[in-house]
Structure 1
């Protein structure tokens, strides 16, 4: 990310500190929302976009449920965004600001110990029935008690929820947490009457949730496809947050067994939008006929969001990965430079920390200033590197990786593991060092990376097993934390908040179906999340996040791979998006939300309608 883009993001982070004091059209985590009351449309949407057309994407895997709000079943991740609707909508052009959606206004106290929403008088479900305060209260209560575990943490902080007037509902909180007022605005609202006499937590393909969103599920075949159609009677088409969005008549998700089949479907035109995460494939395999003829547009888009963490997570609940020295040894043995060269031609940079690529990422070298002050509160809980500074190992790029192998063996020896007869063995028990790597069917890129990693591990006397399962089994096992090591991806935003508890909080480590895959149980992590949630100044918020980044990174829970600071997308020339790209870039809420269909002029490409280089996209912001 360039200095210009970073500067823009930082200015967004460091807004004024005025607080909500009366009903408003929007709310921000810090300061005031950027868009004034009565704004025309989101700055990255085209309010004049025509309706019609379709977008079809190729997905790898399958599904056995259409209810994204419960733990049971495997659900396409897109559904919660496509069929869900909440009291307020989040803009992708500000770190954390919400604008009216089902709620026409929001009010909160200066301390944010309560929040009140007034429903829009026209708000209605897709079956035409009105959205009521009763539906809102039922949705909060049901999601908080029977829904997916990700809703539990919020609900535990709600002291009460009550109707306070015509179309008004108020939530009062039982703990100091500035983010709760915003999280309340983002909870999906469902129709209470639909679930009378039904078991909400056990629903799957039999019951499709009725919501108030612009799209409804029109047709599906289990594991094969889902077709969503635009609701022509959608109640909110003309509210500012929705103008120029969700105008495609059909969104279709096609499912394939592996990445190769999915890519072939795009090449032949069976699908018309794809994201490419492998830069080597982007540079070598996107010269097929439909690209050369101009039927397909190739585009690279920058973004200003954190890198998040992508790689292979070690389950610290398992004895084999309890010791941080063992986890660091696994990182040392992972020859990233060699693997990156083989997979991407060395073109993609490595993720260096959870919040890298953003102003929230940890700085190089020793902790200083407010970051150090915060860390010192939990000095006894910190692992080496948190205060002194930490960086991932860098190899010479050769296959042997002698330096990394030697470092791994030294760490393992200090943890009580030695090589005996060519096998890494526990010095005390004589048991071999053994673990299993769980992979999902169809993930050929991950399988290739793991194949190279296994060869490197054999040099230190370790031969892990590799278990490949289908998507349903993968979800079942990861929900139960039944793995030693597996692929891991956790996207992060410029406004980390309560979701951090779900990602790495101690309580979440024991919650089935939770997001704390690595099993983090750290007083420092929990304490720093508390700090960033209760910070009254932007400076303290940033410092707490930088400190959290240090603790997570030096926990050595994940073997990071490469990051995608540029989104690479390919799409049919008849599909279009506005030139203005939001700070969050290609992120849920942008595609397919602000896209439209319009036949391109014959023999021309769509590149003139949108920035096709990183520098042009940046200047468009």
Structure 2
């Protein structure tokens, strides 16, 4: 990442420490979690957008899997993940050049209570839906209420902290909160706005492919075939094209999402030119497989996009609701048996670093060794209930890289014995004499995950454990994970530099029993709830960071996930006509980067 990006980032963090809370209670062009947004009211464009980018061209991406719905806001169905971000927009837009700042989009201004009790937005009079009808206060209120009561759990959690929503004047909306929560003002600014009239007489919760949404976004869905592709076309009459926030963004004429049965078929589609851009998540593939003729000729180029956002958590989650993984010692045994160094060498050539905690690779990561200072103070009231490692420090096991992994195998056996298991006739059995086994649920098309699990299963056999592997299509996978019908499965949670209310969706107690939620691990821990509360009520950078670092310790020591690797860079191969700006956001290749700030330009 370039130095100017980091300079702005750390300057913003410094402003948090100095400013604390800002007197928000007056209309502003933007809003930040702490302090003031970095861009002034008269900013010309986002710093990582090219205001002179030409319009035209097309982006064709590939996805493994299928889809049976165009409604990304309902709990039912499988939806192309990009639709949430390409086909809808909100009252405020997020700048990924800052930890957490929003600027006016459908709303021309925002006004928030300094204590976090309410927020007020004022709509732009020129805001329009794609059918040229105006965006009204009624549309906004309907969208918020519908998403909050009938929508996906990602919306319902925050809505429970809303005491009321009401119109203010001709174009204003005021939202009052049940309790003070500074982040709620920002979260409410990011809700997608739908046209209420389109959903008259329609069951929003069960809609799938029967409704092509009318939205306010720069792109509209113009063509699709269930499970095969979705085509979005740039709206030439898009109402907000000249807004500073939109200048230089969404200039590509067509964004087409192609779906494939597996990763091999998708890669072949890229090498043959059916799709013209691809993200490569495997470092070894990037080095070994990207030397085909179109790259040799310069028709296709390889780009590295660095970032300094948290690693989040990627790996294989253990469902703590099931008897197999209730005991933390069993979960630790599964981590010890996972020979990361050997698997990383086999899959990636050993080039990718391991994820060591949920907020690793960032200023929010837990520090090594025993908890100290404010982190220790925050954790101390829960000391008796915390798992080993939360206070003392926890590190992932490191093997010698050999396939046998004798040290890890011995550690796993010892932990299983402590948990009451033993090996009889070469089989791991529990106190009841029944064999210890569990199911690993995988989604069709993920050859990398299948390769990882194949190696892992071989290692588990040395412990007398024979897990069952079930591979299902995307619809079944979604149905089963929504119902928490699995023992272990692939898991990925992206985290930001400004964690807040969404943490309740990932590992909050209420979400542990809410089907369709993102708390796949089933964790419910009073210490986690307390750290999230502290994050949301902190009035200083010191307390905020301490709360996040304490949360990081609790989650990591919980042994809920077998972590794999992360990439401190994104690897994107694309036709040379697709370009992106020199100035990169601190989040790198994150939401609203590709294809939002890319453009298509014929090579000279």
The answer to whether the superposition gives a TM-score over 0.5 is yes
SS class of match (2:182): coil
Q: Counterpart of 1:612?
A: none
Alignment partners' CA distance in 2, 1:512 and 1:376? 32
- Over residues 492-513 of structure 1, what are the superposed CA-to-partner deviations in whole Å (9 max), with x where a residue is unaligned? 0000011100000011000010
Q: 1:410 to 1:5 in 2, by over 3 A?
A: farther
TM-score (norm 2): 0.98
Alignment partners' CA distance in 2, 1:443 and 1:50? 36
State the Cα distance separating 1:4 from its structure 2 match: 9.4
State the Cα distance separating 1:521 from its structure 2 match: 0.6
Confirm or deny that 1:505 pairs with 2:525: no
Q: Counterpart of 2:82?
A: 78
**Match for 1:467 among 466, 470, 473?**
470
Alignment partners' CA distance in 1, 2:70 and 2:78? 8
Alignment partners' CA distance in 1, 2:23 and 2:408? 51
Q: 1:320 to 1:152 in 2, by over 3 A?
A: same
State the Cα distance separating 1:109 from its structure 2 match: 1.3
State the Cα distance separating 1:8 from its structure 2 match: 5.6
**Match for 1:445 among 440, 448, 466?**
448
Q: 1:540 to 1:4 in 2, by over 3 A?
A: farther
Q: Counterpart of 2:599?
A: 596
Q: 1:76 to 1:171 in 2, by over 3 A?
A: same
Show the 5 A alignment for 1:577-592.
577-592=580-595
SS class of match (1:381): coil
Confirm or deny that 1:454 pairs with 2:457: yes
SS class of match (1:467): strand
Q: Counterpart of 1:265?
A: 269
Q: Which moves more between the two structures, 18-27 or 468-477?
A: 18-27
Q: Counterpart of 1:338?
A: 342
SS class of match (2:366): coil
Alignment partners' CA distance in 2, 1:174 and 1:459? 54
**Match for 1:62 among 60, 63, 66?**
66
Confirm or deny that 1:154 pairs with 2:146: no
Confirm or deny that 1:130 pairs with 2:141: no
**Match for 2:195 among 172, 191, 194?**
191
Q: Counterpart of 1:11?
A: 11
Show the 5 A alignment for 1:413-428.
413-426=417-430, 428=431
- Over residues 244-274 of structure 1, what are the superposed CA-to-partner deviations in whole Å (9 max), with x where a residue is unaligned? 1101110000001000110111111111111
Confirm or deny that 1:313 pairs with 2:317: yes
SS class of match (1:454): helix
State the Cα distance separating 1:11 from its structure 2 match: 3.5
Q: Counterpart of 1:558?
A: 561
Show the 5 A alignment for 1:543-554.
543-554=546-557
Confirm or deny that 1:121 pairs with 2:164: no
Note if contact 1:441-1:468 (Cα within 8 Å) is conserved in structure 2: yes
Note if contact 2:9-2:97 (Cα within 8 Å) is conserved in structure 1: no
Q: Counterpart of 1:410?
A: 414
SS class of match (1:179): helix
State the Cα distance separating 1:20 from its structure 2 match: 1.5
Show the 5 A alignment for 1:25-44.
25-44=29-48
Q: Counterpart of 1:221?
A: 225
SS class of match (1:39): coil
Alignment partners' CA distance in 2, 1:119 and 1:3? 37
Confirm or deny that 1:304 pairs with 2:308: yes
Q: Counterpart of 2:177?
A: 173
Note if contact 1:19-1:110 (Cα within 8 Å) is conserved in structure 2: yes
Confirm or deny that 1:522 pairs with 2:525: yes
Q: Counterpart of 2:280?
A: 276
Note if contact 2:5-2:585 (Cα within 8 Å) is conserved in structure 1: no
State the Cα distance separating 1:576 from its structure 2 match: 0.8
**Match for 1:477 among 480, 502, 507?**
480
Alignment partners' CA distance in 2, 1:6 and 1:410? 45
Alignment partners' CA distance in 1, 2:370 and 2:379? 11
- Over residues 38-57 of structure 1, what are the superposed CA-to-partner deviations in whole Å (9 max), with x where a residue is unaligned? 11000000111111110000
Show the 5 A alignment for 1:321-332.
321-332=325-336
Q: 1:177 to 1:383 in 2, by over 3 A?
A: same
State the Cα distance separating 1:2 from its structure 2 match: 10
Q: 1:3 to 1:550 in 2, by over 3 A?
A: farther
Note if contact 2:305-2:570 (Cα within 8 Å) is conserved in structure 1: yes
Alignment partners' CA distance in 2, 1:35 and 1:2? 19
- Over residues 301-355 of structure 1, what are the superposed CA-to-partner deviations in whole Å (9 max), with x where a residue is unaligned? 1101100000000000001100000000000000000000000110000000000
Alignment partners' CA distance in 2, 1:139 and 1:9? 33
State the Cα distance separating 1:5 from its structure 2 match: 7.3
Alignment partners' CA distance in 1, 2:145 and 2:384? 39
Alignment partners' CA distance in 2, 1:482 and 1:11? 46
Alignment partners' CA distance in 1, 2:276 and 2:179? 47
State the Cα distance separating 1:3 from its structure 2 match: 10
SS class of match (2:445): coil
Note if contact 1:10-1:359 (Cα within 8 Å) is conserved in structure 2: no
Q: Counterpart of 2:362?
A: 358
Q: Counterpart of 1:531?
A: 534
Note if contact 1:19-1:32 (Cα within 8 Å) is conserved in structure 2: no
State the Cα distance separating 1:287 from its structure 2 match: 0.7
SS class of match (1:377): helix
Note if contact 2:50-2:249 (Cα within 8 Å) is conserved in structure 1: yes
Note if contact 1:314-1:327 (Cα within 8 Å) is conserved in structure 2: yes
Alignment partners' CA distance in 2, 1:128 and 1:560? 48
Note if contact 2:122-2:172 (Cα within 8 Å) is conserved in structure 1: yes
State the Cα distance separating 1:110 from its structure 2 match: 1.1
Alignment partners' CA distance in 2, 1:409 and 1:4? 50
> RMSD between aligned alpha carbons?
1.2
Q: Counterpart of 1:605?
A: none
Alignment partners' CA distance in 1, 2:31 and 2:410? 53
Alignment partners' CA distance in 2, 1:82 and 1:300? 23
Confirm or deny that 1:99 pairs with 2:111: no
State the Cα distance separating 1:389 from its structure 2 match: 0.4
Alignment partners' CA distance in 2, 1:563 and 1:12? 26
